C-alpha cells in the first residue's frame, strides 16, 4: 500500500477549507493551488515569485525540490499578466521546463491575488 503524507503550509485557509499545502503519495508530490500569501499587494511578478517560493518550501518539506517539478498550472486573473508571470516561471524552471498550463480565470480566493499556481513533482529514488 502506498503511503500518503499531508504536508502542511502556512496558509490561513488550510484549516478553514480542509486542505494541505501538499500531499505526498509514494514518490510523487502534489502541491495545492498556492496563492501569493505575504505578497498580496505586489505586482504579478512579485506574486508569482512568492507562489513559487512557497511551492519550493512545500516540496522541500515533502522530500522533493523545485528541480523535480514536472507539471505546473498557473491561474491568472488578468490576461495581460501572462508574460510577466511566465518570465518568473521561466526563471525557476529554465532548466527543467515542466509541462505547464496558463489559464485566465474570473477571480481567485483573495481579490488582491493576480495569480495562483499548482505544481506536481517527483522524489528521486
Cell 522533493 -> residue: 64
Angle between helices 44-62 and 82-93 (to 10 degrees): 30
Q: What is the SS3 assignment for 43? A: coil
- The residue whose grid cell reads 501538499 is 22
Chain centroid offset of residue 40 CA: 15
pLDDT tens for 69-122 read 999 999 999 999 999 999 999 999 999 999 999 999 999 989 999 999 999 999
For 74-103, give the secondary structure using H, E and C. Answer: EEECCHHHHHHHHHHHHHHHCCCCCEEEEE
pLDDT score, position 125: 83
Task: Enumerate domains of the chain plus CATH numbers.
Answer: 4-122 (3.30.1330.40)
Tens digit of each residue's pLDDT (9 = 90 or more) over 2-38: 799 999 988 777 899 999 999 999 999 999 999 999 9
Amino acid at each position: 500500500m502506498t503511503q500518503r503524507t499531508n504536508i502542511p503550509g502556512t496558509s490561513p485557509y488550510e484549516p478553514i477549507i480542509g486542505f494541505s499545502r501538499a500531499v505526498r503519495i509514494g514518490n510523487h508530490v502534489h502541491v495545492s493551488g498556492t496563492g501569493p500569501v505575504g505578497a498580496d499587494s505586489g505586482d504579478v511578478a512579485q506574486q508569482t515569485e512568492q507562489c513559487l517560493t512557497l511551492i519550493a518550501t512545500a516540496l522541500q518539506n515533502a522530500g522533493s525540490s523545485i528541480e523535480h517539478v514536472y507539471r505546473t498550472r498557473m491561474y491568472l486573473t488578468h490576461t495581460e499578466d501572462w508574460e510577466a508571470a511566465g518570465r518568473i516561471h521561466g526563471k525557476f524552471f529554465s532548466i527543467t521546463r515542466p509541462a505547464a498550463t496558463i489559464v485566465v480565470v474570473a477571480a481567485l480566493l483573495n481579490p488582491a491575488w493576480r495569480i495562483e499556481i499548482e505544481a506536481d513533482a517527483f522524489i528521486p529514488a
